[in-house]
Amino acid sequence: MFIISAASFAQTWQIMPGLPEANGRYEDLWFINDNTGWVVQCGGPDKIFKTTNGGMNFVEQLSVDAGCLRSIAFNNANLGWAGSLDGHLYKTTNGGTNWMRVDTTIVPPPVGVCDISVVGDLVMYGSGRYSGPTNLIKTTDGGLTFENIDMGAYSNYQVGVKFMNANTGFVGCRSNIVTEGSVMLYTTDGGDTWSKKYKSFIQSEHVWNIYFVNSTLGYATVERFAAGNGAVIKTTDAGLSWTRINIPGSGNDLDPIGFINANTGWIANHSATGLRQTTDGGANWTFINVGSSIHGIYVTSDSIAYASGNQFYKYTRGVVGIGGPEENNIPFVNKLEQNYPNPFNASTKITYTLVKNTSLVIDVYDANGEFVEKLLQTRQGPGEFSVSWDATNYPSGIYFYSLRTDQGNYYGKAVLVK
């Protein structure tokens, strides 16, 4: 999808040769300096890789069936964490040479760990999951003890988490009050109590990835799971207030975000190709034809950043990747069919195809984007499935149905005629 020129030494994104095309997707990444970092792969099986030379080479450290490894973070060069959508939480105390599963010691156990935030050498928060129910895993002693905080009083489900210090932090989610839509939660007491600093009042979306450029300037992506495009929300007062920037043409699956300085940053639609870049602090975004299925962005300095998706990418000076065009191969091809019959009277069937094991939620929204009904919330393996919607008690009109999965979101439009 993009060509690397051997004569170009401008700042640019390049494919790194250390990892092959993913068997699944490289979901998340974490670096402790410009050269040393880790990447997690979801599916076929789940894996953790480590590089010590900026992505030129990787060493496989773990291969396990964890129900989709989704998140990774390190407190320091030795203490690190990796979480899965099935609630597995792994810990290392030697830089990933050995990983041990620790979620079995947490009561109640986590339902999923979509995102991880670390502070200092001992504090870790893990948030999840997009399909609910809510949980926030917390340790302040490097994993000797854990707390599982029930977030049901604030969120319907949650994904992104970012803590500025041991007590002050944010969680991106959809509100427990459905009409409030996507919400940014804020705590100053280590998660005991929360306030809602942003509410979109758009029901078919949630706040996902959270990124702070410095102590006051921060951004977060807003992912939709119905018709429309995503957005970015921005704060300039350390998260006390947030303003929304809609991104025309971005599609609904906005997820990763990262900024290399106050003005220049990137977002990605994790079920499509390319990145969107801003050079004016998020006011405007331009599509750049880099990568596919990008689900993680990590900035290590003012001149180096990394991204993970279908392959592994680096933003730097000079040519360090491999030449030639990137494969146009998006590994996740779940499919949502048009409901049948459509238009329909009273009842219709929604058929969908899954390519691998996944948690999933099927919801229905009206033409104004207001939540109508949850049709299904479960976990299923690969195959073709269907669910029926009995709309006997609803008025004629246009409705949208959404399929949310580990690999992305899909939606369709149904017309009810009585």
Domain boundary, last residue among 316, 343, 373: 316
111 within a domain of the structure (yes/no):
yes
162 within a domain of the structure (yes/no):
yes
User: How do the pLDDT tens digits run along the chain, 418 residues long?
Assistant: 333 333 333 568 999 989 998 888 999 999 999 999 999 999 879 999 999 999 999 999 999 999 899 999 999 999 999 999 999 999 999 999 999 999 999 999 999 999 999 999 999 999 988 888 889 999 999 999 999 999 999 999 899 999 999 999 999 999 999 899 999 999 999 999 999 999 999 988 999 999 999 999 999 999 988 777 889 999 999 999 999 999 988 887 888 999 999 999 999 988 888 999 999 999 999 999 988 889 999 999 989 999 999 999 999 865 544 433 344 444 457 889 999 999 999 999 999 999 878 888 999 988 877 889 999 988 888 899 999 999 999 999 999 898 988 777 788 899 999 8
User: Tokens for 224?
Assistant: 């939709």
287 and 397 share one domain: no
340 and 311 share one domain: no
63 and 204 share one domain: yes
- How far apart CA 67 and CA 43 sit, in angstroms, is 8
5 within a domain of the structure (yes/no):
no
Determine the Cα angle at 125 with ends 178 and 23, to 5°: 85
Kind of pairing between the strands at 37-42 and 46-51:
antiparallel
87 and 142 share one domain: yes
294 and 348 share one domain: no
60 within a domain of the structure (yes/no):
yes
221 and 269 share one domain: yes
128 and 44 share one domain: yes
Q: Report the helix count and the strand count for the chain, using DSSP H and E.
A: 0, 35
249 within a domain of the structure (yes/no):
yes
Instruction: Count up the domains in the chain and report the number.
Output: 2
232 within a domain of the structure (yes/no):
yes
Order of strands across the sheet that contains 347-354: 335-336, 347-354, 383-390
Domain boundary, last residue among 264, 287, 316: 316
Residue span of the structural domain in which 409 resides: 335-416
382 and 300 share one domain: no
242 and 363 share one domain: no
> Can you give the pTM of this predicted structure?
0.84
193 and 305 share one domain: yes
292 and 365 share one domain: no
Contact between residue 133 and residue 157 where contact means Cβ atoms under 8 Å apart: yes
Domain boundary, last residue among 266, 281, 316: 316
80 and 159 share one domain: yes
Q: Which CATH number characterizes residue 41's domain?
A: 2.130.10.10
Q: Which CATH number characterizes residue 403's domain?
A: 2.60.40.2550
- How far apart CA 80 and CA 92 sit, in angstroms, is 5
6 within a domain of the structure (yes/no):
no
43 within a domain of the structure (yes/no):
yes
